[in-house]
Structure 1
């Protein structure tokens, strides 16, 4: 089942696979790649494919054999020449980068190329990013880095410039929504989950998740609460928002959904015919948009983005949300 899903992702990213295979075939493998695309577009699967191709003992027509000792160890996550880095908590820390570089430069590896894969590379804190930058500037030996990100703009420009960018195309949201509706998902829920992930299977599971439905409802209630007295909005944060969005990852998803809601409000105010994240809220969003100027709506969206950044630190999450609500309250106008 997992292998079938991996193949589906690779099939949808033919241009990416062709580009990677061509660099291998022509002997022009770069020392650093930045895989950029929405969540669910197959970056992880492509990184695994490319890693196997670079280390495969019997590649056939620029495709890894999947059966040699090297391919099998990569599949099981036990190849000594392949190192993966993931966020330690919310961030990728300097110590992780220092440990990676130490491992990459010490002896004890098998002969051949060394590969390191950094998942969610945009989660590197500034110290980690600067440590990696020095290694990218002066790579030692036959080393290839593969950085994966859902947020290209969050990667330091100096790191961007030292990596070959590989862009992953997202599937049509409209087509995904239609497919989900055919599976019994409501149009409104299908529109929301396809903003969260570009993987149709993940989107379907999310649409059936009661907790996600509760999150969606709570985010919309926060938009409504921000239209009332400030004390009501703050009480809502304490009584309903905070108990639901306890963990950082949950809180970040909540802020993402809140950002999508304000994008819909801007689209409603401007009369744009875009595919909304919350199509069932059109009437309310249109009414809400009349109370705010474009500049305040833009300021609110920027405040949400800044809240997401502060969330990755150690700031108290309830305090963060209270400050965000106060900021959004400032944007309400009587017109």
Structure 2
């Protein structure tokens, strides 16, 4: 299992694997890293692999053996020198961070490096981020932090500057597209789900999810309504968007779909040849690209990104979508 993990990291992220090996070989292990890449790219698996390498009892050629006690316990989540936290509800809170840092600085652990992982690090609230920042400024002993994020721009710049950034490249999208189409997924739906995730399993799950397909259709209707009249868009939020506002994850998915729709419009306007997220809407997207300016598109994209931030701050979801529609409508008046 662990050798398979090593092979997978080497095959899918060769630059990342090479960087791990070089750091280990040269005894230049950093005290903090940010693993940055889109959802489903394998950041968590890479963090586990790196932790195994740092704790392995008998590494070979700068690769963890996968069979020693340390490697096995790391793989099973039972190594006492590895701790992980993730958002508690909407965000990562100060008490979570304080508890983690307190445990990591206490004595009594096994010898060797201690490693803490912060999943979805961009969702630390201000107090949690400040607590981490203080620790990063004054690292103690052989401790390594690994922050995982798919929204690097949302991590505080002061934290970014104190961490080594390791960027994960997405897999060849065309290959994933062909795999999904071979499994019977329509080309248009395959294009949409591969815009949202690089994980082949997750992409197939989304494509088979009737609610996701319905959400995609509703997003298209919303863009059409915004293009027509703001009152139509607001009415659509009250009617057809309601089922998707019950869960934060569904709302976030809708915002992502909206974001990719407007990115398609920007790409069409700029004459880019990248595979669109909505290839079945080429005529409509072309018409919007012809009549919208870059400033208008930039304003709308910024409004959607701001809505994503507000979503994680517990803003009422119906109100958030209504304000987004009004903000997007205002963006159309940008000269």
* Fold equivalence (TM over 0.5): yes
Query: Is contact 1:219–1:254 with CA below 8 Å preserved after alignment?
Result: yes
Q: Distance in 2 between matches of 1:186 and 1:310?
A: 33
Q: Call closer, same or farther: CA 1:26–1:262 in 2, change over 3 Å.
A: same
Q: Can you list the C-alpha shifts for 1:128-176, whole angstroms capped at 9, x where unaligned?
A: 1111111011111110111111122222222112111112111222232
TM-score by length of 2: 0.93
Match of 2:179 in 1: 179
Match of 1:230 in 2: 230
Match of 1:44 in 2: 44
Structure 1 residue 31: Cα displacement: 0.9
Structure 1 ranges of 4+ moved more than 4 A: 1-7
Match of 2:263 in 1: 263
Match of 2:123 in 1: 123
Match of 2:71 in 1: 71
Structure 1 residue 50: Cα displacement: 0.8
Structure 1 residue 115: Cα displacement: 0.5
- The runs of 5 or more residues in structure 1 that have no matched partner are none
Match of 1:197 in 2: 197
Q: Can you list the C-alpha shifts for 1:198-249, whole angstroms capped at 9, x where unaligned?
A: 1223222222222221111111111112123333221210111121232112
Match of 2:218 in 1: 218
Match of 1:287 in 2: 287
Query: Is contact 1:82–1:116 with CA below 8 Å preserved after alignment?
Result: yes
Structure 1 residue 54: Cα displacement: 0.9
Q: Distance in 2 between matches of 1:124 and 1:245?
A: 23
Q: Can you list the C-alpha shifts for 1:55-86, whole angstroms capped at 9, x where unaligned?
A: 11222222222222222221221111111011
**Once structures 1 and 2 are overlaid, which stretch shifts more, 143-152 or 196-205?**
196-205
Match of 1:188 in 2: 188
- The runs of 5 or more residues in structure 2 that have no matched partner are none
Does the residue aligned with 2:228 lie in a helix, a strand or coil? Answer: coil
Q: Call closer, same or farther: CA 1:152–1:264 in 2, change over 3 Å.
A: same
Q: Distance in 2 between matches of 1:2 and 1:27?
A: 23
Does the residue aligned with 1:111 lie in a helix, a strand or coil? Answer: coil
Query: Is contact 1:92–1:123 with CA below 8 Å preserved after alignment?
Result: yes
Match of 2:24 in 1: 24
Does the residue aligned with 2:117 lie in a helix, a strand or coil? Answer: strand
Q: Call closer, same or farther: CA 1:16–1:272 in 2, change over 3 Å.
A: closer
